[in-house]
């Protein structure tokens, strides 16, 4: 390692988890008014709107959701700690104090180097990371930040491209209603690095080191967000040209508006990848959303023994694929961190799909599960439909 300064964080922990498994929480109701999602908390306004059109609860969703334990007869998963909070903005790295490039075991298991021999990804392929934002100054991410061509040469506060989001040069913060999607939780930065950390001789390498990442912040410092902001972020991603959406979040509340938004994204050619969650349960019989929605590529976590760890949700009727999700080293605000969870598995799959869509026109939302299934490696658990993703075989098969 070059240098041993305190700036670079190398820590081991479980992926953050914030929700229980009882009744879904909500904040007001939401309705689509004049083509936009409106959050309604005033009873008079609610009566006015909801008496004439569809409304539903504005459900709370969570990063790396789930802490439900299994029944007493089954071993309980390890508790999921609260998220580590980072002050924002993240410090600008000292480029003389960076760790040497680390090639992790997960990429060997997935045969990522074989895929890279054919394609390291195409810059025109954009992956929307709908999460807690990212560290915009991280040296492993800066080069692969998506740039909105309609805002080049613009200034803060102005909406140069007329899309109703002023100066959204590198994404948007839907929670704070501002153009700066800086991460104050860490979760989004970690998932972004797993997808597209650039191969630059230091730090880590993403599964698709040449694709672009579009940071869309809707989860706050505590890892919580709402379906209203999630819907807005998904619509933005589709409108602005993302080909893949990585969603490492969820909750127990079913949203018809969210389901419709994801269905619309699929029809527009966007592949939606979502975490199965960390409750150790079958989400085919006890659904979580968005992972349990039709058309979503739901991802479980796997470990080095090609098994699902005890925390990972499963369900062969719903969960298509597993990916390494235990002890994953990736970018983090101010450095790097090792985390575990289905949140860490999901960007592995999103990155692999990003490689594939840039390599072959046959990779569409309608065909992606077929591609993933026929190239997957076997896994010992019956709770995943296809097995564990093999990135090398996926790209070679195309």
Helix axis angle for 342-359 and 368-375, nearest 10°, is: 110
> Is the N-terminal amide bond of 290 cis, ω within 30° of 0?
yes
Q: Which two tokens stand for residue 123?
A: 């810059």
Q: Which two tokens stand for residue 346?
A: 């999901």
Q: Which two tokens stand for residue 143?
A: 């080069």
Nearest-CA neighbor of 66 among 354, 365, 394, 340? 340
**Cα–Cα distance between 139 and 200 in angstroms, integer?**
9
In three-state secondary structure terms, 137 is coil
Nearest-CA neighbor of 211 among 178, 161, 234, 245? 245
Taking a C-beta distance cutoff of 8 angstroms, is the pair 195, 129 a contact? yes
Helix (H) or strand (E) holding 212: strand 212-217
Nearest-CA neighbor of 289 among 318, 324, 320? 318
- Residue 343 is among the residues annotated as catalytic for this protein: yes
Rg (CA), the chain: 20
Active-site residue, from 131, 135, 180, 184: 131
By DSSP bridging, strand 244-247 and strand 271-275 are: parallel
Nearest-CA neighbor of 248 among 351, 176, 146? 351
**Cα–Cα distance between 113 and 122 in angstroms, integer?**
16
**CB count in 10 Å sphere of residue 186:** 28
Backbone angles phi, psi at 389, to 5 degrees: -60, 140
The answer to whether the Cα torsion of 241, 243, 245, 246 is positive or negative is negative
- Residue 135 is among the residues annotated as catalytic for this protein: no
Q: Which two tokens stand for residue 383?
A: 């709770």
**Cα–Cα distance between 362 and 302 in angstroms, integer?**
27
Place of tokens 């499963």: 314
Beta-carbon contacts of residue 33 (< 8 Å; ≥ 6 apart): 49, 53
In the 8-state DSSP scheme, what is residue 120? S
- Residue 397 is among the residues annotated as catalytic for this protein: no
Active-site residue, from 187, 190, 229, 371: 187
From residue 67, alpha-carbon distances to 12, 161, 339 in Å are 19, 42, 16
Query: Catalytic residue numbers?
Result: 131, 187, 343
């Amino acid at each position: 390692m070059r240098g041993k300064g305190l700036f670079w964080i190398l820590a081991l922990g479980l992926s953050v988890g914030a929700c229980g498994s009882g009744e879904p929480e909500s904040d007001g109701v939401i309705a689509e008014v004049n083509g936009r999602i409106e959050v309604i908390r005033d009873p008079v306004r609610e009566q006015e709107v909801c008496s004439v059109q569809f409304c539903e609860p504005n459900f709370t969703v969570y990063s790396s959701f789930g802490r439900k334990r299994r029944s007493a007869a089954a071993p309980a998963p390890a508790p999921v700690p609260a998220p580590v909070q980072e002050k924002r903005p993240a410090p600008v790295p000292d480029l003389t104090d960076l760790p040497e490039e680390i090639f992790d075991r997960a990429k060997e298991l997935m045969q990522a180097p074989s895929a890279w021999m054919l394609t390291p990804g195409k810059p025109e392929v954009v992956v929307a990371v709908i999460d807690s934002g990212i560290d915009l100054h991280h040296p492993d991410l800066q080069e692969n930040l998506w740039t909105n061509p309609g805002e080049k040469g613009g200034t803060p506060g102005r909406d140069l491209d007329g899309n109703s989001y002023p100066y959204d040069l590198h994404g948007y913060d839907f929670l704070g209603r501002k153009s700066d999607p800086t991460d104050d939780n860490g979760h989004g930065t970690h998932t972004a690095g797993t997808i597209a950390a650039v191969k630059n001789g230091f730090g880590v390498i993403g599964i698709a080191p040449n694709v672009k990442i579009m940071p869309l912040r809707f989860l706050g410092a505590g890892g919580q967000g709402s379906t209203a902001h999630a819907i807005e972020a998904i619509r933005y991603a589709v409108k602005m040209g993302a080909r893949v959406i990585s969603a490492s979040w969820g909750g127990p509340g079913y949203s018809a508006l969210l389901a419709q938004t994801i269905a619309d994204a699929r029809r527009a050619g966007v592949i939606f990848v979502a975490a199965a969650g960390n409750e150790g349960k079958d989400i085919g019989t006890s659904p979580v959303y968005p992972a349990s929605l039709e058309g979503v590529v739901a991802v479980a976590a796997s470990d080095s023994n090609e098994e699902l760890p005890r925390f990972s949700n499963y369900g062969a009727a719903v969960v298509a694929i597993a990916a390494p999700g235990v002890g994953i080293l990736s970018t983090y605000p101010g450095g790097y961190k090792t985390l575990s969870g289905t949140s860490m598995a999901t960007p592995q799959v999103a990155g692999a799909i990003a490689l594939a869509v840039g390599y072959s026109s046959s990779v569409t939302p309608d065909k992606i599960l077929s591609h993933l299934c026929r190239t997957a490696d076997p896994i010992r658990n019956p709770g995943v439909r296809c097995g564990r993703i093999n990135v090398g075989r996926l790209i070679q098969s195309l």
